[in-house]
Amino acid sequence: MNPVNLIHKLPFQKRRYEELGIDIHQEINKAWGDKRFGLGIVWAGGFLWGGLSLFFFSVLMMLQVAISTLLIVSCAVGAGAICYMFVFRQDKYIEYFDKYEKWSKKEKRKYSWLTAGSMLFVMLSFYLCLVI
């Protein structure tokens, strides 16, 4: 279920797509679900990179390192290098997604909770570093 599809249920858009012979739902799903360059993959990569950067920044803040622009850029570059090495290089993420698609519903639920928990931990640690 893609929320963008709701916009295309408007009557004038339906008529226009029928005139053009386009199945807009199939096109949207292709744009979001493409394993190589889909918008979902781009967003997931961005969240991974940003979350890892925020984690590194939080650790350095806990160690009471002086905050500077160079520190922020270093965290982002370091996170990008790690993401590239373990996920993006030679399209490893496609292999990972193929493996994840074979998981049972129980495994998917377990790792979804683990992911949500780790994201919450990173955001909470960043917040606590700002407050303390």
Question: Does pLDDT of 4 surpass 80?
Answer: no
Q: Helix, strand, coil % (nearest 5) of the chain?
A: 80, 0, 20
45: left (phi over 0), alpha (psi -120 to 50) or beta: alpha
pLDDT for position 3: 67
Question: Does pLDDT of 1 surpass 70?
Answer: no
Note if the pTM is more than 0.85: no
**Inter-residue contact 125 to 53 (CB < 8 Å):** no
Average pLDDT, whole number, for the chain? Answer: 88
pLDDT tens by residue, 41-78: 888 899 999 999 999 999 998 888 888 999 999 999 99
